């Protein structure tokens, strides 16, 4: 059987082809799945997508009409998928429930350290043989407070690193993680976390209750010299409110690996295009803001695990099996997901 995979990165392609070798042929495309590209999947029973695919009801209807029976998403998040439409169409939807939490946690720390110690500004200066230290002063993190919103596997990994730095630990989540508590974390209401933390990092999924978790009120509650890091989902932060906060001269630094309107921008070369997103364009003008293109997950280990699970999901679909990775199985949507 031949599978079509959309949104395949150059570094990802050989790993994906090797994983399916001997099982199925995979046609790797660098274009992303959306209403315009969905007809390409005509005749393919299995379609694989990435996190920025458009899997709205309209796109799913096009896929189903073309003979697609399964969508295997190569990511954990699934806020881009209309699960009820998939169930109505009798589709199977698989995802990757988890992969290396260290990939994302370590990258979140890379962002935090970079904005704290002004590394991008410093590197740009020294590249031009400007070796002044003006404007490059950072702060020791030891003894300061890290606020971790979301203490699952990734949040726990971030917490362990924060503990190694000698930081005080605050957490917010629906359920306390005993591993984090053992490290000295105190769970507090999110309002208190925003108000007391020197470094705030987001590791919660994007659902209705967490959209714009960091809104104007949360930003107003933060310390003027706080650092904000988001390596989870762009919609967790109200970017327009963040821009207004930065225009007021508040926050020491912001590190964003995700952006709420990143679809159609991230993973593409837009260097020769006119960017019509005024909010993103304004955000990029702040010297204390570092934006990367959703690459926190992008390590050999994490991508390898993502592809391994994707292959297993395809095999489960063909064998009529279900697993923890299946969001919809042949049109059956788990009651918890409705």
Kindly list the catalytic residues. Answer: 233, 262
Give the Cα separation of 57 and 63 in Å (integer): 10
Query: For the chain, what is the largest distance between any 2 Cα atoms, rounded to a whole number of angstroms?
Result: 64
Q: What is the DSSP string of 235-292?
A: GGB-HHHHHHHHHTT--SEEEES--TT-TTTTTS--TTSPP--HHHHHHTT-TTEEE-
Q: How many CB atoms lie within 10 A of CB 77?
A: 16
Closest by CA to 69, choosing from 47, 49, 91, 51, is 91
Give the Cα separation of 216 and 278 in Å (integer): 18
**Which 3 state secondary structure label does DSSP give 84?**
helix
């Amino acid at each position: 059987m031949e599978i079509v995979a959309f949104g395949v990165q150059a570094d990802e392609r050989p790993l994906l082809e090797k994983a399916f070798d001997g099982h199925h042929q995979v046609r790797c495309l660098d274009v992303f799945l959306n209403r315009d590209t969905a007809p390409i999947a005509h005749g393919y029973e299995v379609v694989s997508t990435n996190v920025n695919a458009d899997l709205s009801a309209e796109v799913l209807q096009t896929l189903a009409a073309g003979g697609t029976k399964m969508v295997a998403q190569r990511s954990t998040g699934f806020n881009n998928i209309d699960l009820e439409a998939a169930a109505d169409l009798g589709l199977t939807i698989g995802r990757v429930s988890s992969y290396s939490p260290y990939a994302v946690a370590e990258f979140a720390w890379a962002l935090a350290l970079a904005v704290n110690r002004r590394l991008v500004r410093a590197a740009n200066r020294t590249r031009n043989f400007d070796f002044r230290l003006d404007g490059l002063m950072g702060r020791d993190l030891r003894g300061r407070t890290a606020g971790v919103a979301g203490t699952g596997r990734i949040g726990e990994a971030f917490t362990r690193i924060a503990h190694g730095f000698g930081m005080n630990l605050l957490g917010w989540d629906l359920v306390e993680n005993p591993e984090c508590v053992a490290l000295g974390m105190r769970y507090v209401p999110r309002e208190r976390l925003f108000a007391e933390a020197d470094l705030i990092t987001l590791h919660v999924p994007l659902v209705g209750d967490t959209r714009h978790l960091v809104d104007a009120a949360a930003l107003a509650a933060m310390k003027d010299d706080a650092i904000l890091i988001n390596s989870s989902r762009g919609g967790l932060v109200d970017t327009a409110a963040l821009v207004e906060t930065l225009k007021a001269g508040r926050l020491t630094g912001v590190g964003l690996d995700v952006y709420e309107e990143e679809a159609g921008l991230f993973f593409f070369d837009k260097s020769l295009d006119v960017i019509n997103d005024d909010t993103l364009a304004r955000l990029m003008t702040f010297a204390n803001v570092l934006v990367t293109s959703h690459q926190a997950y992008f390590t050999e280990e994490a991508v390898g695990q993502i592809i391994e699970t994707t292959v297993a999901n395809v095999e489960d679909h063909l064998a009529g099996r279900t697993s923890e990775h299946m969001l919809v199985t042949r049109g059956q949507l788990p009651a918890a997901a409705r």
